[in-house]
Structure 1
Amino acid sequence: MRVPQKLSIGDEIRVIAPSRSAKLVKVRQTKTILEKLGFKISFGQHIFECDLQQSASIEHRVADIHEAFRDPQVKAILTALGGYNCNEILPYLDYQMIAENPKILCGFSDITALATAITKKCGFITYSGPHFSSFRMEQGQEYQLSYFQKCLMGNAPFPLTASKVWSDDTWYIDQAKRHFEEASWKVYSEGEASGQLYGGNLCTLNLLQGTPYMPDLANCILFLEDDELVNPAIFARDLTSLLQSTTQIKGMAIGRFQRASDMTEEQLHFILDKHPRLQTIPVFYDVDVGHTQPILTFPIGGNIYMNTKERIMQITKF
């Protein structure tokens, strides 16, 4: 798996909206924050279009993606926001052109579809991590920015550690009094494993089953999360579908659930207990990925080592 060129201070980052419109984001303030970090920010031509489903046309979203990959001045691509319809654009992308111009693509949630498809079809690592809109958040940003920089700007393998606090407040609208709670990673089953890393938003990843955009998950390590629209029964169904679609995985890390999901520790253990394989491989949960904040950045198609007994995870290829 190829690794895109790393991001450097002074590089141009292009913002695209392959799912929901950037009209929903406070663009000016977020652009200023990233410029203060030393980056040049540019925008796709169509990112502010907003139709009945708060998105742009397939044609225009594809055009912005193609332009971002073709432009030699653009060194990294950030998505504005997630949404519901990113998988619509997958059949219309020029994967040969994208493969010939590998570069950083980073986002999460619905962007799981686009990032995973590009990794599968083009043979280079993409990234599950902050959207452009995620940098609007001030409180909790230090942890998030640290892993964004380690993964997208560094070259040395690095350990993942748990954030000390977490928040369920909307990440792209920074409240004056953001509510934080104590955070820690938890262990469902002990063990250690190394392998290729895939994952992101569970319900979005499942949309790729049976398509040319779904990677082979055999012997991989999965990072999975879901948002406030999921509940324990839906998560159980979606997880079962994914596990039934592949041969044995080597490990799993499950992102922290939002309060609105009504997922409890008892419910999660009840769901995981249904799958005997998960009791024989390392499984973390309440990991800092997904729709609570702050979040890690991890490489889709990269490599990871995990040891749940020692509570260690280390990104080794990214």
Structure 2
Amino acid sequence: MRITPKRLQKGDTIGIISPSSPPNLDNLKKALPFIEELGLNIKMGKSVEAKRGHLAGDDDARLADLHEMFEDPNIAGIICAGGGYGAARYTDRIDFAMIKENPKVFWGYSDITFLHTAIGQYADLVTFHGPMLASDVGKDEFHERSGRMFGQLFGPFELHYTEEVAPLETLVGGQAEGELVGGNLSLIRSSIGTKFELDTKGKILLIEDIDEEPYQVDEMLNHLKMARKFEEVAGIVIGDFKNADPKKPERSLSLDEVFADYFKDLKVPVVKGFKIGHCEPHFSVPLGAKARLDGDARTLTVLPGVE
């Protein structure tokens, strides 16, 4: 059983960090009132406004922010300002023992997937795959349902995803239970061959991505297949794949054909169409929490991510 962090309460302080690329500071500023409306106070990481090329400051500074926010007893949770690229550059230097001793809410997605996987496997902590401040909350198209998903941080309740959110399609029926793991497909693939390689045995695997054409999704799924990540998986949750249309349709499989090639013959439930990922609304989920995927009823149930 993974550690579930303590629930947030009004009056708590959350740390905001930029583990990867520099966030859009205008969007970040627009997002802060949302956090304040949740009744939370804010502490900014030192590297949030830093820039070093495509990174939010150097690796040492971003790592120091992550460590400081987990170590600080006055910080109840951590929310990432944005993704991009760069979290994996310092993951091998994270103090996972310290994080395990100071469990708290950790929230983000996209490039943050690498941190979710590492923290989950080495600190045994449930973390949250959800919209980030500059990347999502501070934009005009931020959906009310996406905002409501932050409510799961304030009390332990089950999440039930049904077709009330968006239409779903079953590729393989049946039911499965297991820890929900995964996130961004590109980052899952990039973990293969490292000490942070995602363990999918007996797990329900979530995949999502953005700006990847069908042939690129094909290549990444083939890499996971060759790495035997589908052999003992309990089930597959296919989230949103935004901007996945091929530039040359006449020379490309469709994304649906790619998914069918890899998943239709699996003996475990596979359901696609979940609004999880680079989309609005964005249904947030606790990674590492126990989940149940029902391919026949087309539902996903996830146990609480906080205590």
**Deviation at residue 279 of structure 1 after TM alignment:** 4.0
**Deviation at residue 35 of structure 1 after TM alignment:** 0.6
1:144 counterpart residue number: 146
Partners of 2:234 and 2:75 in 1: CA distance: 36
2:143 aligned with 1:161, yes or no?
no
2:218 counterpart residue number: 236
2:259 counterpart residue number: 272
Equivalent residue in structure 1 for 2:242, among 242, 253, 258? 258
Partners of 2:120 and 2:267 in 1: CA distance: 28
Matched-pair contact (CA < 8 Å) for 2:239–2:277: yes
2:176 counterpart residue number: 193
Equivalent residue in structure 1 for 2:188, among 205, 208, 214? 205
Partners of 1:279 and 1:119 in 2: CA distance: 26
| Superposed structure 1 runs of 4+ greater than 6 Å apart | none
1:315 counterpart residue number: 302
2:303 aligned with 1:303, yes or no?
no
TM-score where L is the length of structure 1: 0.87
Partners of 2:11 and 2:157 in 1: CA distance: 21
Secondary structure at the counterpart of residue 274 of structure 1:
helix
Partners of 1:43 and 1:298 in 2: CA distance: 24
1:169 counterpart residue number: none
Matched-pair contact (CA < 8 Å) for 2:291–2:302: yes
Output one character per residue of 1:203-254: Cα deviation in whole Å (capped at 9) or x when no partner.
11111112222242112111100111x1101101111212332332111111
Unaligned 5+ segments in structure 2 are: none
Matched-pair contact (CA < 8 Å) for 2:244–2:255: no
Output one character per residue of 1:58-83: Cα deviation in whole Å (capped at 9) or x when no partner.
01001100110011111110111111
**Deviation at residue 24 of structure 1 after TM alignment:** 4.4
Partners of 1:163 and 1:295 in 2: CA distance: 13
Q: 1:45 to 1:219 in 2, by over 3 A?
A: same
Matched residue count: 298
Q: Pairwise CA RMSD of aligned residues? A: 2.1
1:249 counterpart residue number: 233
Aligned ranges 1:2-41 → 2 under 5 Å: 2-41=3-42
Secondary structure at the counterpart of residue 273 of structure 2:
strand
2:208 counterpart residue number: 225
Q: 1:101 to 1:233 in 2, by over 3 A?
A: same
Matched-pair contact (CA < 8 Å) for 1:254–1:284: yes
Aligned ranges 1:112-123 → 2 under 5 Å: 112-123=113-124
Unaligned 5+ segments in structure 1 are: 165-182
Secondary structure at the counterpart of residue 64 of structure 2:
helix
Output one character per residue of 1:271-312: Cα deviation in whole Å (capped at 9) or x when no partner.
233336754321111211111212111122111111121122
**Deviation at residue 123 of structure 1 after TM alignment:** 0.9
Matched-pair contact (CA < 8 Å) for 1:109–1:200: yes
Equivalent residue in structure 2 for 1:135, among 134, 137, 162? 137
Secondary structure at the counterpart of residue 178 of structure 2:
strand
**Deviation at residue 16 of structure 1 after TM alignment:** 0.2
Between stretches 103-112 and 269-278, larger displacement belongs to: 269-278
Secondary structure at the counterpart of residue 207 of structure 2:
strand
Matched-pair contact (CA < 8 Å) for 1:163–1:288: no
Matched-pair contact (CA < 8 Å) for 1:188–1:269: no
Secondary structure at the counterpart of residue 287 of structure 1:
coil
Q: In percent, how many aligned pairs have the same letter?
A: 28
Matched-pair contact (CA < 8 Å) for 2:110–2:183: yes
Output one character per residue of 1:14-56: Cα deviation in whole Å (capped at 9) or x when no partner.
1000001135452322112211221111100121111222421
